[in-house]
Amino acid sequence: MNRDRLYFLLLNIGHFMDHLFTLIFASVAALALHKEWGVGYAELLAYATPGFFAFGLFSLPAGWLADRWSRDGMMTVFFFGIGLAAIATSFAATPLQIGAGLFVIGMFAAIYHPVGLAIVTMKWRNTGMRIAVNGVWGNLGVAFAALITGYLIDHGGWRMAFVLPGIVSILFGFAYAALRWEGIRADGVPKTPAAPAAPMAPDYKALLIRVSVIVFLTTAVSSIIFQSTTFALPKIFDERLGDLATQLTAWFDQLALAARGDVATVVGMMAFVVFTVASMAQLVVGALLDRIGPRRVFMTVAVIQIVFFAAMPGLTDGVALAVALGFMLGAFGQIPINDYMIGKMASGPARARIYGVRYVVSFTVLAAALPLIALVHSNWGFDVLFVILAIAAAIIFCAVWILPKQLPTPEQAAPAAAE
């Protein structure tokens, strides 16, 4: 494997690790801690909320540091920092302690999206497909969080779900630093300040503002959908797929594939299958983005979500599993679209900072979605949540309807400004 491919692989692994770490607690809370500590599921979610606020809040300074110092240097900090934070979190003995650990994990997790995506969108062509492939790796992190955590709850305890990925992340940190060391040193050399940007033509500026408002609105609303589905799915499956999980556990026991009573493992496995299959939607979306642009693709993905969220209330077992796969296809399929639009519109020198702003919006909403999940679950159950998510998808559809067919790009502004 040449250095360029290894570079892209390590960036993809970073996305995998980022989402894995941020969702380990979702399965831990749903399948273990509420029993071990005697704390309700809704109450436990409150301790995860600050971590997701950190996930959003620290995206902006991470992007600023990457643009001012070194993007590869910040990625190295990401691998080491999140690994050490996860290992420290495994020692938590109270909900408050685990909440503090999740906050520090969120601080380091905030580095990846503004920095890693800025590297991906600037270094390689075929931006839509590159973002899609990178997004699949991130969603595999979501999937493996459920699978690994469910397995370790049954076979090693929830603490190992933080320790083992932490060790692996540190090892990848050494690999990334070794590969990019010369680039990190070069980035540290003081740079000549860039010339002031030329003023933009009024028409171009108005179009840029219009598209930016749509991007950030859909970012916020789609973040509610993404967080609600990825964080709550293990609990949804625990409640609605209980009979199916019990049957599969008995079947695996007969085949000597699992120990008797490994229901948590089976629930995690079903979540893993849904997350993994649904993540492949991003490859289709990435190819379509490069061919036909974001507007029609985004509208199609929104319709898929509306249909399957509206169908989910009241369903259980096999039918619920199939419908959950449907709405996760939509939830994962939408992920690369906003990143693609920002990559096309943002100027290179400021790209990490602009991605930072995007992810401040995104992950602040992610954090706010946790109290929503807790409130809805404790008072009305998940059926009401599915109705809310169908309405959110409808809002996205209406916003995307007014997107222009062609996105404004930095190259288009210069000729207009020079006239």
How far apart, in whole angstroms, are the C-alpha atoms of residue 92 and residue 103?
13
Q: Which tens digit of pLDDT belongs to each residue from 216-260?
A: 889 889 989 988 888 888 888 888 887 787 777 777 666 665 444
Confidence of residue 192 (pLDDT cuts 50, 70, 90): low
The yes/no answer on whether domain 3-187+203-418 falls in CATH 1.20.1250.20 is yes
How far apart, in whole angstroms, are the C-alpha atoms of residue 55 and residue 58?
6
- pLDDT value for 198: 56
Among 92, 89, 53, 105, residue whose Cα is nearest residue 371:
53
Q: Domain-by-domain residue ranges, the chain?
A: 3-187+203-418
Q: Reduced to 3 states, what is the DSSP secondary structure of residue 403?
A: coil
Confidence of residue 201 (pLDDT cuts 50, 70, 90): low
Least confident of 53-67, 151-165, 262-276: 262-276
Confidence of residue 196 (pLDDT cuts 50, 70, 90): low
For the segment 150-175, the average pLDDT, to the nearest whole number, is 88
Mean pLDDT (the chain) is 83
Q: Which tens digit of pLDDT belongs to each residue from 122-133?
A: 776 666 778 888
User: Is residue 37 predicted with pLDDT exceeding 60?
Assistant: yes
Q: Answer for the pair 64, 356: CB distance below 8 angstroms, yes or no.
A: yes
Structure tokens at 24: 């380990």
